[in-house]
């Protein structure tokens, strides 16, 4: 998910409250065995229809993005037929610490170098199990990079996350089950 400003100042204490959010949502992928011993659950609750259990999502993680962002390291977990974007590492200059968002997969990161580019958003490919791939969008008339990060399967939906204003924040839920 990516946010763009409405009218609030980024210095505001409630800096994420005034953002207009664009969303790309993948479905939680249940890898647990089927459970036919209990009756199916009614629609509208958090119980998985496959395993009849609850999939624990971490509380949503929200981070703001500074204009001093130099690169984004995208963690990619490869599967046989597709991949998953598990998180980002926001890399700033020497005066600011890097910020981790989501899960980091060491040695499985692809760098987006932002030096000389203005990042405006992403084209996200959402499907079974989460976000399977992304493409960065840069400033020149929403130029979508030809380089896709990750490998989506054929059932993914492409979602354009390109707010009209400056990219200010990321938010996401991460499955820990």
Q: What is the pLDDT of residues 15-61, one digit of tens each?
A: 445 545 555 555 556 667 777 776 655 555 566 766 777 666 556 77
Has residue 43 been placed in a domain? no
Range of 167's domain?
2-9+19-29+56-172
Has residue 46 been placed in a domain? no
pLDDT score for 18: 53
Residues 6+ apart with CB under 8 A from 55: 28, 30, 46, 48, 175, 177
Q: Model-level pTM greater than 0.85?
A: no
Has residue 37 been placed in a domain? no
Q: Around 88, how many Cα atoms within 13 Å sit in the side-chain half-sphere?
A: 27
CATH code for position 161: 2.100.10.30
Has residue 51 been placed in a domain? no
Has residue 116 been placed in a domain? yes
Tracing tokens 């991460």 back to the chain, one arrives at 174
Q: How far apart are CA 105 and CA 164, in angstroms?
A: 31
Domain count, the chain: 1
What tens digit of pLDDT does each residue of 96-151 get?
899 888 888 889 999 999 888 888 888 889 887 788 999 888 876 555 566 889 99
Tokens of 154: 């054929």
Has residue 76 been placed in a domain? yes
Has residue 92 been placed in a domain? yes
Has residue 38 been placed in a domain? no
Q: How far apart are CA 138 and CA 118, in angstroms?
A: 5
């Amino acid at each position: 998910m990516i946010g763009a400003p409405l009218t609030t100042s980024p210095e505001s204490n409630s800096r994420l409250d005034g953002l207009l959010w664009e969303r790309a949502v993948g479905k939680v992928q249940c890898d647990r065995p089927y459970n036919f011993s209990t009756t199916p659950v009614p629609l509208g609750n958090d119980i998985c229809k496959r395993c009849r259990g609850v999939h624990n999502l971490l509380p949503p993680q929200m981070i703001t993005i500074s204009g001093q962002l130099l690169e984004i390291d995208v963690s990619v977990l490869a599967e046989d037929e597709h991949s998953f974007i598990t998180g980002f590492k926001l890399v700033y200059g020497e005066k600011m610490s890097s910020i981790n968002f989501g899960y980091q997969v060491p040695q499985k990161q692809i760098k987006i170098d932002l030096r000389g580019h203005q990042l405006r958003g992403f084209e996200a490919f959402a499907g079974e199990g989460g976000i399977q791939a992304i493409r960065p969008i840069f400033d020149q008339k929403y130029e979508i990079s030809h380089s896709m990060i990750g490998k989506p399967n054929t059932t993914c939906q492409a979602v354009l996350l390109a707010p009209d204003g400056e990219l200010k924040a990321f938010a996401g839920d991460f499955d820990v089950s």
